[in-house]
Structure 1
Amino acid sequence: MLKKSAFPLLLLNMFLANLSMGLVIPIVPELLKAFSASGQAAGYLVSCFGLTQFLFSPLAGTLSDRYGRKPLIITGLILFAISNLLAAFANDLTLLFVSRLIGGVGSAALVPPIIAYIADITADDRRSKAMSWLGASMTSGFIIGPGVGGLLAEWGIKAPFYVSACVGLLATLCSLWGLPESLSADIRRLGRHAKEKKDHVFRQIALSVRSRYFVLLLVVFAMTFGLTHFEAIFPLFVVQVYGFTTRQIAMLLTVCSFVGTLNQLLLTDRITQRFGETRIIVAMLLLSAVSLVCLLFSGRYYYVMAVTMLFFTFNNILRPAINTLMSKAAGTEQGFVAGMNNAYTSLGTIFGPMLAGILFEVHFDLPYLFGGFVLLVCGIFSGSRLRQVLLPREA
């Protein structure tokens, strides 16, 4: 019988994995100034994290089937701590990039085994609720990260990295002590001796394009693209265009992330039961697009806070709706779809910040105009396709 502490620890670890992605965002302007770097570097700092996460996630999933979930989770937490320590010691941009690449590997080692662990310990009738909590911890970690990073920066630009490394080590110790292995020794032995050859991730993506749930995977990409597009360049945008301080950015993101998460917990289940997942997905995509563009209309602090709050809320409600509908559409292909969900999330994390940084160098407004355009097109496309390919009862 697994300990009751397993599930909270899994949520904490998932939260930390995504917290690390957003932690660096509010201190990017100061880091770039210290290292004499351009705005493109801001996007690349976020993108390189997603790159190694994308490349190593399939390997982590395979290793967790062969050697167990716990060793991979512990490895991911250790890499998480090492990544943040390297960032704290970085005196140039190169070492900072190395730390982000290692952080992506750590996230890859954490996320697939955690998802598989929850599938191991939950019954079918309770898995949807468990995955909803897991989705909330993922989204909250990434959205809260910038706020936490900005507040900790009050004690020095490297303080967020030191604190994050300490929390990672603490989570490692807690997991070593309180997280039992979910796979039996017999299942792990069978996994190590299995001769089945699995397709590499690029082949799997090619197969997913022809699947009936491709439109949902496209939504996952667009949602992640829009969120990382927004966050990667947000500090630079509000500093250079509106004159915000690091403290103002931190307070704004902290308040908005808290309200966005609270709205997710209070509203998601109610509005989904009333309108259904397909309508919620389309509506949240369109509203997210509108909120991105609205960010350009005024530089008043509380206006920007209100628009950001709405954007986070729409994104927080969107992810659980996608995960629920995807699990219904997957049928007997739950493992493949979960892997593709993570792969398309990583792709969004790679290309969203990268393009945001490039567009920001062309014109300050372009990242949000283009991000809004991507979300708008995806919303229109998914609105015409979801009802055709997934659930007839929601048509």
Structure 2
Amino acid sequence: MEKKKALPILFAVMFLVMSGFGIIIPVIPFYAEEIGATPAQLGLLMAIYSLMQFIFAPMWGRISDRYGRKPVIMIGILGLSLSFFLMALSNDLWMLFVARIIGGTLSAANMPTAMAYVADITTEEDRAKGMGMIGAATGLGFIFGPAIGGLFSQTSMSAPFYVAGILSFITSLFVLFVLKESLTEEARTKQGAKRPSILNAFQGTTSVLFILNLFVSLSLAGLEATFAYFASQKAGLGIAQLGLIFMIMGFGSALVQGGLVGRLSKKYGEGTVIQGGMIVSIIGMALILTISSFTTAAIFLTIFGMGNGAIRPAVSSLLTKSSQTGHGNITGLLSSFDSLGRIIGPPLGGYLFSISIGFPYISGIILSVFALLLFQVYKAKSPSKSLEV
């Protein structure tokens, strides 16, 4: 299969995967509450999924280096499908927790392996474009998935989980019959013999990029956890308006990742894109503090989302360029840092919000400024041409 054909196929796979995942997002709180979950138990139910991904993403990345990308992607998608069906059949809270643990453990394979797949099939010049397309597929899946879930929830609370399970299973068949392996037998043998440890991946100047990604994830997770309450108090916005705002933000982020990141990285280098993304996200976060209406909330949140969306693909591109082998090891560790941000971000954002409604956003600005300064250290010490302005 030509490499040019592989990227659109992978885009379709990740869009379907994230659509299936997005289907259950708006339903889980009500479904768990119907079973008898308290707000604290619901928070734990959401967090345990990210915890499993934090633990297992590096492992799956390393496995994909040794045994190939395609089988690991299939394991991740089938794991999602299994977890969705288990959730649909759950009639007690412990069953939901088991389903989430299984889903988090197995689906941790999806994102790092997809990014490693992109690194396998793209040249260094086009790496950021490929990473951006995966980000765009993820963003679009999270836009369409919740809308589908909301529609099927009108039939029954368990219906969205069955739909998500069926969609994920169909996606696994699509991978089986259409997606070709990107890692040659020779490359697998080489990477299996020279598998770098996690500690080797997290060393030197590249460690700065992992920390930077953690700060970006923390800021986004803190915003997502508190923005509904913030917008309600500042601008009197309701659930329907907030859903539309996040949809607009998602489209803006997907547009940047799918259309601009690759072009800008090729012309100016990933370093410039990362710095620009951080500056735009800082401006957006600061503007969010001043929202007063639906229009200002939509515009300012979209500015933040576009800046934030540009960072991850460029960081992924730089990291995979730093290691010609072991792409799965690198992307697995990066996904783990993403998950760590999603674990810490919501409770931290909620705590800061309880002190003052603006604190989650002020702390996000501070974290982003610190990340920007950290990147200057990386830029000064890295010889990579990708950092050229």
TM-score interval (norm. to shorter): 0.7 to 0.9
After TM superposition, list the pairs within 5 Å mapping 1:37-56 onto structure 2. Answer: 37-38=38-39, 44-56=44-56
Distance 2:4 2:262 in 1: 25
* Structure 1 counterpart of 2:245: 252
* Structure 1 counterpart of 2:318: 325
The answer as to whether partners of 2:70 and 2:181 remain within 8 angstroms in 1 is yes
Structure 1 counterpart SS, 2:38: coil
1:352 aligns with 2:345: yes
- Which moved further from structure 2: 239-248 or 290-299? 239-248
* Cα distance, 1:273–1:254 mapped onto 2, change above 3 Å: same
Structure 2 counterpart SS, 1:179: coil
Distance 1:339 1:351 in 2: 19
Q: CA deviation at 1:274?
A: 6.1
> Normalization by structure 1: what TM-score?
0.78
The answer as to whether partners of 1:32 and 1:42 remain within 8 angstroms in 2 is yes
The answer as to whether partners of 1:48 and 1:101 remain within 8 angstroms in 2 is yes
1:375 aligns with 2:376: no
* Structure 2 counterpart of 1:280: 273
Structure 2 counterpart SS, 1:211: coil
Structure 1: where are the runs of 5+ without partners?
none
Q: CA deviation at 1:174?
A: 1.6
Aligned match for 2:382, one of 381, 389, 395: 389
* Cα distance, 1:113–1:234 mapped onto 2, change above 3 Å: same
Structure 2 counterpart SS, 1:298: coil
The answer as to whether partners of 2:116 and 2:331 remain within 8 angstroms in 1 is no
After TM superposition, list the pairs within 5 Å mapping 1:37-186 onto structure 2. Answer: 37-38=38-39, 44-90=44-90, 94-122=94-122, 127-141=127-141, 149=149, 158-183=158-183
Q: CA deviation at 1:294?
A: 3.2
* Cα distance, 1:161–1:237 mapped onto 2, change above 3 Å: farther
Q: CA deviation at 1:28?
A: 6.5
* C-alpha distance after superposition, 1:309-330 (max 9, x if no partner): 1121112222233233334444
Aligned match for 2:207, one of 200, 210, 214: 214
After TM superposition, list the pairs within 5 Å mapping 1:251-270 onto structure 2. Answer: 251-269=244-262
The answer as to whether partners of 1:3 and 1:180 remain within 8 angstroms in 2 is no
Q: CA deviation at 1:171?
A: 0.4
RMSD: 3.9
Structure 2: where are the runs of 5+ without partners?
none
The answer as to whether partners of 2:27 and 2:157 remain within 8 angstroms in 1 is yes
* C-alpha distance after superposition, 1:272-304 (max 9, x if no partner): 466543343223223323423433433522222
* Structure 1 counterpart of 2:336: 343
After TM superposition, list the pairs within 5 Å mapping 1:216-231 onto structure 2. Answer: 216-231=209-224
* C-alpha distance after superposition, 1:69-121 (max 9, x if no partner): 33222221111112223334445654444333322223222233333444444
The answer as to whether partners of 1:88 and 1:162 remain within 8 angstroms in 2 is yes
Distance 1:186 1:329 in 2: 20
> Normalization by structure 2: what TM-score?
0.79
**Paired residues, number:** 387
* Cα distance, 1:369–1:43 mapped onto 2, change above 3 Å: farther
Q: CA deviation at 1:218?
A: 1.9
* Cα distance, 1:311–1:25 mapped onto 2, change above 3 Å: farther
* Cα distance, 1:175–1:136 mapped onto 2, change above 3 Å: same
The answer as to whether partners of 1:26 and 1:249 remain within 8 angstroms in 2 is no
Distance 1:124 1:394 in 2: 14
* Structure 1 counterpart of 2:282: 289
